[in-house]
Chain A
Amino acid sequence: MLPAMDVLSRHAVQVAGDPASPPILFAHGFGCDQTLWRFVAPELAKDHFVVTFDYVGAGRSDRSAYDPGRYASLDGFAEDILDIVHRLDLRDVTLVGHSVSATIAMLASIAEPGRFRDLVLVTPSPRYLDDLPDYRGGFARADIEGLLGMMEVNATGWAAYLAPVVMGNPDRPELASDLEATFCTIDPVMARQFAEVTFLADNRADISKVSVPSLIIQVSDDVVAPIEVGRYLHQRLLDSTFRVIEGTGHCPHVSHPSETVGLIREYLRDRRPTPTPPTSAPAIA
């Protein structure tokens, strides 16, 4: 057993906003790291306590903490989220999960429903593979194998692929000075396992176990998480709200940040009950 490493450094946890404000925890999806939230998180940090983090192996997490056993299923990732929630003692959390992290968020809320006020599921999919005739996830097994192969080849030139990405960019001078110089870096071993766990998982049976209210944000043209998958989820997910952003792509928080923030704000505003002063002394049970 390794000595208990601090959860905050293990996951390069970043916080912003007033700790007394309602907490929002952002969980990044497959393919990148917490820096993808930078187009939406600062806006929400104005009136929320915003927490972002990297899964182990991604971004600036502690890669030495990568444990293939723990991350052999999405439950290990859900434990990461719960570790962070406990470490920061967050309560009534709004948990925002992108892509596979939408599923991970569902799993975390099933494990400890009391900790979460609501879930925001950005381009979720409970199952990426087709299970015909009843379910169309969008992909055949051969597609996923093709992806894994392509990732493997890219991994051999991974550094070459990433190095230019993190170099200073004349168009965006703020990037050059930005400390987020590890943009989208993922350990190839982690990336491969994450891809396998993500794309071969089937969490359809977990949908009905979710008791926390949720907002589903889908993009009208998303090849990774088709809109039908979002509808499928919405129909089976208790107390869920389904909103669609017109556009293309799998990362609305990057491609359509203001719409994404708008939908989250609108949902939270409608969800939050206006605090009412107690009309009578609480009854003694």
Chain B
Amino acid sequence: MLAGDLRIVESNRALAAMIGMPGSELAGRSFESLLSVPARILFQTHVFPALMADGRVEEVLLTLGPSGDQAVPVLLNAERSEAGGEAAYVAVMVRIRARSQWERELLDATRALERERASSQQLAEELAVVASDLNARLADDARSREFRDAFVGVVSHELRTPITTIFGMSHLLRERHRTMAPDAVTAGLDDIQREADRLRRLTEDLLVLSRAEGSRLEVSDDPLVLGHVLRATVKEEAARSEGHRFETSIDRDLPLVLGESIYVEQVLRNFLSNAVKYSPAGSLVRIEAARDGDGVAVRVIDEGRGLGDEPSEQLWELFFRSADAMRQASGAGIGLFVSRELVQAMGGRVWARPAGNEAGGAEFGFWLPAIEVEEDT
């Protein structure tokens, strides 16, 4: 029994035994003085405010007596009552050596469980990574199976056409060239050369494709003089496509770019042959190259039927061929995909857009980054 100021009014022998102090000496002492030093802090900061404000506390662990190992753990229950009209408190303390032990074990078990949980969570996270890895691989497998099927279909068709021509025409010429009209012989040889050239390009694209699939497109860091490569390629291509007019507009002071000349040739050839393929004979194909931001933009502009209704992004997909394109000419749907792969490998980007000229036309372009030239200032 405690007075309103928490001094001991009356106590039983059990408490005296717990403290190891005669009961007569307990009366008049403050309750706080029974506690260990840490328990006094807890009492003053937590228990006392609760007791004063709400009149009771239950099951608070405190320790009695000197701090350290000799401290006696007790569980305090206290409640306000009244004694002779004055506030008073009844405090019951239960010695809890066993419970304390049990609580300590519970705490240890809780901590162990916490650690267990943390490690199983980590395990779960690792498993999730493995699973998503597996899923990605499965998806990759599915993609590569799809790819292989499409590849075999498209390529066998694309190979068969020129080979059929070359095979048939060479056979014909060999058997009958003596009796054929000279013009017919020349035309036959032209056919063979054209189809052989088509075959050569296809194999070049396929080579790039296989490298791109394995991310093995290598680009040297040698600077590239774009103007030379462009002029040479356009000249070569123009000689091959006599039905079209070619016009180049290449800025004189183009910066050096980061790129691989054979890649640039291949991209430009793809763009030019597309321009020729999808625009009427006699129309103009313009090639422009100009500085654009930190690099150089190269544009191939034709006077054909334009891009059709498909979103221009689709054009760059592998094996994609627009309905319009399929009506106009044969093709594998590899060239633009390969061109984009090559340009991206060189750190550039590609685009396709309506040319905006009177004929309708399409513009295919690529951009390559210029090499930073350190200026001596």
- Is A160 among interface residues, defined by CB-CB distance under 8 A? yes
Are B38 and A164 neighbours in the complex by a CB distance under 8 Å? no
Q: Assess A154 versus B60: contact at CB under 8 Å? Given A31-B46, A31-B49, A36-B49.
A: yes
Q: Is the CB of B37 within 8 A of A143?
A: yes
**Are A156's CB and B103's CB within 8 A?**
yes
Q: Which residues of chain B are within 8 angstroms of A160 by Cβ–Cβ distance?
A: 58-59
Smallest CB–CB gap between B111 and chain A, Å? 10
Q: Are B6 and A248 in contact (CB under 8 A)?
A: yes
For B71, give the chain A residue with the smallest CB separation: A146
B104 touches A153 (CB 8 A): yes
Partner of A183, one of B32, B40, B54, B62: B54
A261 within 8 Å of B (CB atoms):
no
The answer, yes or no, to whether B16 is at the interface (CB within 8 Å) is no
- The answer to the question of A267 belonging to the interface, with a C-beta cut-off of 8 Å to chain B, is no
Shortest B100–chain A CB gap in Å is: 8
A30, A140, A153, A172: most-surrounded residue (chain B CB, <10 A): A153
Verify if A245 is at the interface (C-beta below 8 Å from B): no
B41, B60, B107: most-surrounded residue (chain A CB, <10 A): B41
A161-B58, A165-B57, A171-B80 known; A143-B107 Cβ under 8 A: no
A99 to B44, CA, bound (A): 11
Residue from the list A32, A143, A154 in contact with B49, Cβ < 8 A: A32
Check A147 against B61 for contact (C-beta < 8 Å). Answer: no
For the complex, is B339 an interface residue (Cβ under 8 Å from A)? no
Query: In this assembly, does A250 line the interface, its C-beta being within 8 Å of a C-beta of chain B?
Result: yes
Nearest chain B CB to A172's CB is how many angstroms away? Answer: 6
| Distance between A90 CB and nearest chain B CB, rounded to angstroms | 26
Q: How far is the CB of B367 from chain A (nearest CB, A)?
A: 37
B80 CB contacts on chain A under 8 angstroms: 171
- Please tell me if A111 contacts chain B, counting CB pairs below 8 Å: no
Question: Residues 46-80 of chain B: 1 if any A CB is under 8 Å from the residue's CB, otherwise 0?
Answer: 10111011111111111100011001000000001
Given A142-B68, A151-B42, A152-B107 in contact, is the A249-B50 Cβ separation under 8 Å? no
- On whether the beta carbons of B44 and A251 are closer than 8 Å, the reply is yes
Are B32 and A248 within 8 A (Cβ)?
yes
- Say yes or no for A29: interface residue by CB 8 A criterion: yes
Contacts of B106 in A (CB 8 A): 156
Q: How far is the CA of A223 from the CA of B30 in the complex (A)?
A: 12
Name the prevailing secondary structure of the B interface residues. helix
Asked if B110 is an interface residue, CB under 8 A from chain A, the answer is: yes
B45 within 8 A of A: yes
- Is B36 engaged at the interface, CB distance under 8 Å to the other chain? yes
Distance in angstroms from A247 CB to nearest chain B CB is: 7
- A165 → chain B, closest Cβ, in Å? 5
Closest B residue to A253 by CB, please name it: B49
Interface residues of A in 218-262 (CB under 8 A from B): 221-224, 247-251, 254-255
- Least CB distance from B153 to A in Å reads 53
Report A171 CB to chain B, min CB distance, Å.
6
Q: How far is it, in angstroms, between the C-alpha of A230 and the C-alpha of B46 when the chains are bound?
A: 21
Number of interface residues of B (CB under 8 A): 39
**Is A165 touching B58 in the complex (CB atoms < 8 A)?**
yes
Contact B44–A154 (Cβ < 8 Å): no
Least CB distance from B351 to A in Å reads 37
Contact B50 A184 (CB under 8 A): yes
Which residue of chain A is the closest to B103 with respect to CB atoms? A153
Point out the residues of chain B lying under 8 angstroms from A153, CB to CB. Answer: 61, 100, 103-104, 107
- Give Cα distance in the complex from A171 to B39, angstroms: 27
A142 touches B67 (CB 8 A): yes
Task: Decide if A205 is an interface residue (CB 8 Å cutoff).
Answer: no
Closest to A149 in B: B38
Q: Which of B5, B48, B61 contacts A154 (CB 8 A)?
A: B61
Complex interface residues of chain B between 80 and 128 (CB less than 8 A to chain A): 80, 100, 103-104, 106-107, 110
Whole-angstrom CA separation of A150 from B40 in the bound complex = 11
A164 touches B56 (CB 8 A): yes
| B1-31 CB contacts (< 8 Å) to partner A | 5-6, 30
Decide: A254 near B53, CB < 8 A? Known: A146-B63, A147-B38, A153-B107: yes
Taken together as a complex, chains A and B put the C-alpha atoms of A267 and B46 apart, in Å, by 28
Bitwise interface map of A from 154 to 176 toward B, beta carbon under 8 Å scored 1, else 0: 10110011011110010110010
Query: Which A residues lie within 8 Å of B68 (CB)?
Result: 142, 146
Asked if B50 contacts A251 (CB within 8 A), the reply is: no
Q: Is A248 in contact with B54, judged by CB distance below 8 angstroms?
A: no
B-chain residues with CB within 8 Å of residue A163 when the two chains form the complex: 58
Residue A144 at the B interface, CB < 8 A?
Answer: yes
Chain B residues within an 8 Å CB radius of A171? 55, 80
Tell me which residues across on chain A come within 8 A of B104, comparing CB atoms.
Answer: 153
Please tell me if the beta carbons of B45 and A35 are within 8 angstroms of each other in the complex: no
A70 nearest CB across to chain B (Å): 22
Chain B CB within 8 A of A66 CB: no
Selected from A36, A99, A146, A166, the residue in CB contact (under 8 A) with B38 is A146
What are the residues of chain A within 8 A of B38 when measuring CB–CB?
143-147, 149-150
Which residue of chain B lies nearest to A199 when distances are taken between CB atoms in the complex? B41
Q: Are B45 and A146 in contact (CB under 8 A)?
A: no
Do B39 and A150 touch (CB < 8 A)? yes
A residues sitting closer than 8 Å to B (CB atoms) are 29-32, 35-36, 38-39, 99, 139-140, 142-147, 149-154, 156-157, 160-161, 163-166, 169, 171-172, 175, 183-184, 199, 221-224, 247-251, 254-255
Query: What are 18 A-B contacts defined by CB distance under 8 Å?
Result: A31-B44, A31-B46, A32-B45, A39-B53, A146-B39, A147-B39, A149-B38, A150-B42, A150-B62, A153-B100, A156-B107, A165-B58, A166-B54, A223-B37, A224-B44, A249-B48, A250-B48, A254-B48
The 8 closest A-B pairs by CB, nearest first: A31-B45, A146-B38, A250-B44, A147-B38, A164-B58, A143-B37, A223-B40, A31-B46
Apart from the given pairs A254-B48, A254-B53, 11 other A-B contacts in the complex at a CB distance below 8 Å? A144-B38, A147-B41, A153-B100, A156-B107, A156-B110, A161-B59, A184-B46, A223-B40, A248-B30, A251-B52, A254-B49
